[in-house]
Structure 1
Amino acid sequence: MSMYASVISSPRTAVLQRVERPEPAAGQVLLQLEGSGVCASSLPLWEGREWFTYPQPAGAPGHEGWGRVAAVGDGVESLRVGDRVAALTYRAHAEYDIADSTAVVPLPPALDGVAMPGEPLGCAVNIFRRCDIGPGQTVAIVGIGFLGAVLTRLASQAGARVIAISRRPFALEVARASGAAHTLAMEDHWRILEEVKRLTGGAMCERVIEAVGLQWPLDLAGELTGERGRLVVAGYHQDGTRQVNMQMWNWRGIDVVNAHERDPRMYVQGIRDAISLMAQGTLDAAPLFTHRFPLDRLGEALEMTRTRPDGFLKAVVTP
């Protein structure tokens, strides 16, 4: 049996190939994928950092797949062929992928026909949980992409006043639609600080989420955090070391949380919780999937994720 899969054959080059279809081992399921999200964490591989080798395995590094169970391995009793599911897999830029049965979450009928890249939605829910956001708090979110938009929605629905900060006018419009009370252009460092001081009566923010992954937004996020507040690092800092103003952090007595989970069980729990929120109508992620590409155009989807033109939040690819 064979299938089509996208292969990153060299930096910034993705080709569609016919490859052998995988088969599930004991405790695994085979998924016939409806689609997979394109993640910004894949950009170092796409750009060609020196520690990667090419060609990459077929379907890699797709990890945001959803679809239907096509076959089950020995010992799998909780899932049946035909079940529609979201899953944590690792080669999902393909027609089929393998997943451990423990990393698969069934989708309810209320989500029929809805794109469901579970991993980024679960990631957002897990980050939100670690923020400890409650009613009446002022929350600054630095960076409004897909993740920042979901967090804006969750924080505003929790009763917080959200200040959304982004360099793109389109992203600020998305933040307002997601419940942000205030939006600020990420242009002038000191102007942002002064405006947040004005909005908070000088107290700054109880919670600040940095969702960009660069030095300046991290610096800004630290300065926006008020005394005894919590700074939550949600951005992917993959391009080297960072410097922080430890004197200020000490003086203000802030808590700093690295919100990136590394326990697969927590990933799956986040996916499960995100599915529940979507089925209840609490979270509507559909408007955030702004671009769709067929599988043979994965390279375009990755390049758009890299350049982030106005009007773009997140891409998905479909077989």
Structure 2
Amino acid sequence: MSSRSVLIERPGEHRLVAGPRPEPGPGEVLVRVAAAGICMSDREVYDGHRDAAYVRYPVVPGHEWAGTVEAVGEGVGASLLGRRTVAEGFRACGTCERCRSGDTSLCAAGYDETGFTRPGAFADHVVVPARLLHPLADDADLPAAALLEPAAVVAAAVRAGRPEAGERVAVVGAGTLGLLAVQLLAAASPAELTVFDPREERGAQALEFGASDARTPEEGAERAGRYDLVIETAGAPTTAASSCLLARRGGRVVLTGMFTPGAAGIDPVHLSLNQLTVRSVFGAPSSAWSFAVRAFGAGLIDPRPLITHEFPLERFSDAVALVGGGDPGVGKVLLRP
């Protein structure tokens, strides 16, 4: 049986390759990919803009995915065969002090992630350690479940922010992360849930997902110091600083956006005088994955409406060109092997 994959040999150069179906080794499973999402980090890999420490060429990208277990390696129970599943991307060692403390996204063994340093899911099949699986219900919507990776990142951010019922909450950015954050935060019964994004269409979608208000970033100055909790998801040059200005004195800010060098810094005077708590999130620990999968199974988050485009592997060029292009009509783009 053959298996195809999208191989980026070097920045800007890719080809669709075919070969024998990969076989899982000891402790591993082979998953037939049902759907894989393309995000900005995948576009950065393709364009060559990702930090060299966080990618290894040639690479098969794809870290947001869902599929069905098709084969198991030595030492893995046969009960997993046929299970619908997602899996964590970080290949945490499980034995260092950070992993043993539950902070698997801070593994001291070094960065190692499916789709960046290991073959990913822009392919018919992907091989992953069985210990990283999060099995889903038998009737789970697999294309929607492909968004559980960003949902896990959002879950890590929301859990770090510790929302309480009746609080005023803001979400900065209404992309995939921001709209998933709205769904999770709405389930926490905030008194006010405001989304800041320059795109009118995204603001309207945020309202459908449970936000109470949608405003442009320019209107943020009118809301300075208003919010108990601010979840930043945009990663724009100014949003780390502007998110801190939205928080009330003693408030909490969680940064999830991927910032580039030269982004506006957070004013240390404002930070200290207002006694803000500022956290950042990169990836998601195992606990956040479990939380996201539970929320998905319970219907607290529904990623399906975020999907706007689906392409076969053969049209990877068309698919990746849509990501990061600025078209407000482009939401989550999926590859469907």
Cα distance in 1 for partners of 2:131, 2:35 equals 20
What is the aligned partner in structure 2 of residue 73 from structure 1?
73
What is the aligned partner in structure 1 of residue 245 from structure 2?
223
Q: Is the 8 A contact 2:41 2:50 kept in 1?
A: no
SS in 2 for 1:109: coil
Cα distance in 1 for partners of 2:255, 2:317 equals 28
Q: Is the 8 A contact 1:7 1:55 kept in 2?
A: no
Q: Is the 8 A contact 1:67 1:84 kept in 2?
A: yes
Superposition deviation, residue 67 in structure 1:
0.9
Cα distance in 2 for partners of 1:119, 1:78 equals 25
Q: Is the 8 A contact 1:72 1:79 kept in 2?
A: no
Q: Where in structure 2 are the equivalents of 1:20-99 lying within 5 Å?
A: 20-49=20-49, 52=52, 56-60=57-61, 62-77=62-77, 79-89=79-89, 90=114, 91-99=120-128
Q: 1:145 to 1:215 in 2, by over 3 A?
A: same
Give 2:184's match in structure 1, choosing from 150, 154, 175. 154
Cα distance in 2 for partners of 1:50, 1:144 equals 23
SS in 2 for 1:307: coil
1:128 paired to 2:128 = no
Amino acid at match of 1:276: R
What is the aligned partner in structure 2 of residue 303 from structure 1?
321
Amino acid at match of 2:194: I
SS in 2 for 1:7: strand
- RMSD over aligned Cα, in angstroms? 2.2
Q: Is the 8 A contact 1:291 1:312 kept in 2?
A: yes
Q: Where in structure 2 are the equivalents of 1:201-216 lying within 5 Å?
A: 203-216=225-238
What is the aligned partner in structure 2 of residue 101 from structure 1?
130
Cα distance in 2 for partners of 1:126, 1:50 equals 23
What is the aligned partner in structure 1 of residue 336 from structure 2?
318
Comparing 159-168 with 296-305, greater Cα deviation is found at: 296-305
Cα distance in 2 for partners of 1:26, 1:114 equals 28
SS in 2 for 1:215: coil
Cα distance in 2 for partners of 1:244, 1:280 equals 37
Q: 1:78 to 1:154 in 2, by over 3 A?
A: farther
Give 1:140's match in structure 2, choosing from 167, 170, 175. 170
Superposition deviation, residue 3 in structure 1:
1.2
What CA deviation, in whole Å up to 9, does each residue of 1:18-40 have, x standing for no partner? 13432111100011111111122
Cα distance in 1 for partners of 2:170, 2:157 equals 14
Amino acid at match of 2:176: F
Give 2:213's match in structure 1, choosing from 178, 182, 186. 182
Amino acid at match of 2:63: H
SS in 2 for 1:115: helix
Comparing 230-239 with 165-174, greater Cα deviation is found at: 230-239
Identity percentage over the alignment? 26
Cα distance in 1 for partners of 2:283, 2:11 equals 28
Comparing 48-57 with 306-315, greater Cα deviation is found at: 48-57
What is the aligned partner in structure 2 of residue 115 from structure 1?
144
SS in 2 for 1:128: helix
Cα distance in 1 for partners of 2:50, 2:156 equals 31
SS in 2 for 1:290: strand
Cα distance in 1 for partners of 2:296, 2:305 equals 13
Cα distance in 1 for partners of 2:141, 2:330 equals 25
Cα distance in 1 for partners of 2:36, 2:142 equals 14
Q: Is the 8 A contact 2:16 2:314 kept in 1?
A: yes
Superposition deviation, residue 110 in structure 1:
4.0
Amino acid at match of 1:293: F
Cα distance in 2 for partners of 1:113, 1:10 equals 30
The aligned length equals 305
Q: Which 5+ residue runs of structure 1 have no aligned equivalent?
A: 198-202
Q: 1:284 to 1:259 in 2, by over 3 A?
A: same
